[in-house]
Amino acid sequence: MSKKYQGSDLYLTEMINACVKIQEYAANTSKEDFLKQRESFDAICMQLSHLGEQVTNLESSPDRIIQHFPEDLEWPALKGLRNRIGHAYMTIDAQMIWDFVTQKTQELESSLRRILKKRYGQ
């Protein structure tokens, strides 16, 4: 059975929601706690995986969001991070995840909101 197409606006919104959750989770923990405890790491990795999964959905969507906005995001990197989390979870460097979360997530959310507004007026 084929998956029902939901609309790229939904996929982008899901990505924004994941960014918000990631930022909330990171705000509630220190770097030291993040590197020592697995709960925040696990929660953040789940949302990062969800981000990458939505990129996969966007790749096959008829709206061609990735083709219309190729420079706005590092689409392949997000998908690659999802694959790394899904297939090599135990080898992921927590410091790399922390750096991504603290240095790139807010910018990622802003870019996604910009794309959503440009393309769908939302």
The pTM score is: 0.92
> CB-hemisphere CA count at 13 Å for 50?
19
Q: Residue 28 gets which letter from DSSP?
A: T
Q: What confidence tier does 5 reach under pLDDT thresholds 50, 70, 90?
A: low
> Does 3 map to a domain?
no
What's 101's domain CATH number?
Answer: 1.20.120
Domain range for 84 is 8-120
- How many domains does the chain divide into? 1
Query: If you average pLDDT over residues 24-32, what whole number do you get?
Result: 95
Task: Write out the DSSP string of 40-72.
Answer: HHHHHHHHHHHHHHHHHHHHT-TT-HHHHSTTT
**77-121 confidence digits (pLDDT tens):** 999 999 999 999 889 999 999 999 999 999 999 999 999 999 999
> Does 92 map to a domain?
yes
